[in-house]
Amino acid sequence: MNLSTENTLAQPVGTTLDRYIMRKQAEFGFATGELSQLLRDLALAGKIVHRDVNRAGLSSIIGSMGQHNVQGEQQQRLDVEANIRFIRTLTNGGEACAILSEEEDDLIQTGNVQGKYVVAMDPLDGSSNIDVNVSIGTIFSIYRRVSAVGGPATRADFLQGGRAQVAAGYILYGSSTMLVYTTGHGVAGFTYENSLGEFFLSHPRITIPATGPVFSCNEGHWFDYPQYVRDFLLQCKQQRMSGRYVGSLVADYHRNLFTGGIYLYPPTAKNAAGKLRLLYENFPLAFLIEQAGGRAETGEGPVLDLEPVDFHQRSPLFIGSPELVARLLSETA
């Protein structure tokens, strides 16, 4: 065996998600392992959905269910599949006492009354892209419950506000599957290694560039956007910025997190309060972007300062590089 071959064989495989979580557990003065286990459960469900996404075209789980969820959106088969996978995994894991899902009208009591945490999630964001093989994702948010341990979870557990989150993140199912999360101590990214069935630390400390070359929005709604948004977008075009819009929130957000940019989902005439859901889309992504050095705004203040009053509440979202978000807000003055 020559030296070059030996060196190749001796390359380390890296830090697994499990090992990373164990190392970071000391950052939580109140934690005794439950939060770490909950993050592992979310990763396990993500692995299962990764498998389902990758074989979707061969297993008769693409296409519409022919029914609508509580949001009034047409459910895709993989929406339902992902929802079941995450609920089942979190329930069996034992650490989540309740779950709030985009696909369900009310909170789901898991029966784990001793669990100290609740999870709000969008099990499969961007599901309209499933049938055309475009990147999709899962978004999750974790709170430490405020209701009494030993009893059922309550609405108050989920309506604490964005700054009460103890962890949040997303899983992107794309050319590679990535899990990106924060526990309020920076942002780390993990890439799934299929042959070993493990997430490995690939991006130990993610920070968003202060500015960037990309704006992401659905320009088909141009004439419904507020004037300040149109003025900002005209500036972007005059500066020859690139318009990039996949139509999967996680995919657009992920790209801008790494390259720098801004994602916009403004209020429109049809959706005056915005379209994206506050608890399981905007709150977790806002928490993560602030930890990465970015900003998330509604146009009237930081997303994380918005008071939640309803499980499926909506809000506008302007999120990304801090200089670009500040420039947009200057148009509102």
Kindly provide the residue ranges of all beta strands, DSSP E only, lying in the chain, ordered along the sequence: 64-68, 74-76, 96-101, 108-109, 117-125, 136-144, 167-173, 177-182, 187-193, 198-203, 214-216, 242-243, 261-265, 276-277, 295-297, 314-315, 317-320
Which numeric CATH code is attached to 17-203?
Answer: 3.30.540.10
Q: Is 245 annotated as a binding residue?
A: yes
Res 31: pLDDT: 58
Confirm if 276 and 265 have CB atoms less than 8 A apart.
yes
pTM above 0.85, yes or no: yes
Res 128: pLDDT: 76
Q: Is 275 annotated as a binding residue?
A: yes
- State how far the Cα of 88 lies from the Cα of 84, in Å rounded to an integer: 6
Q: Is 257 annotated as a binding residue?
A: no
Confirm if 211 and 323 have CB atoms less than 8 A apart.
yes
Quickly list DSSP for 200-238: EEEESS----SS-SEEE--GGGGGGS-HHHHHHHHHHHH
Q: Is 264 annotated as a binding residue?
A: yes
Q: Is 127 annotated as a binding residue?
A: yes
Query: Where does CATH 3.40.190.80 sit in the chain?
Result: 214-330
Q: Is 122 annotated as a binding residue?
A: yes
The architecture of the domain spanning 214-330 is 3-Layer(aba) Sandwich (3.40)
In order along its 333 residues, the chain shows pLDDT tens digits of 455 555 555 566 789 999 999 888 777 656 568 999 999 999 999 999 999 888 765 455 555 544 555 555 557 788 899 999 999 999 999 999 999 999 999 999 999 999 999 999 999 998 778 777 889 999 999 999 999 999 999 999 999 999 999 999 999 998 899 999 999 999 999 999 999 999 999 999 999 999 999 999 999 999 999 999 999 999 999 999 999 999 999 999 999 999 999 999 999 989 999 999 999 999 999 999 999 999 999 999 999 999 999 999 999 999 999 999 999 999 887
Query: Where does CATH 3.30.540.10 sit in the chain?
Result: 17-203
Res 10: pLDDT: 56
Res 29: pLDDT: 58
Q: Is 102 annotated as a binding residue?
A: yes
Q: Is 116 annotated as a binding residue?
A: no
Q: Is 103 annotated as a binding residue?
A: no
Q: Is 125 annotated as a binding residue?
A: yes
- State how far the Cα of 35 lies from the Cα of 144, in Å rounded to an integer: 9
Res 210: pLDDT: 98
Res 8: pLDDT: 56
Q: Which residue has the tokens 């609508």?
A: 68
- State how far the Cα of 251 lies from the Cα of 231, in Å rounded to an integer: 25
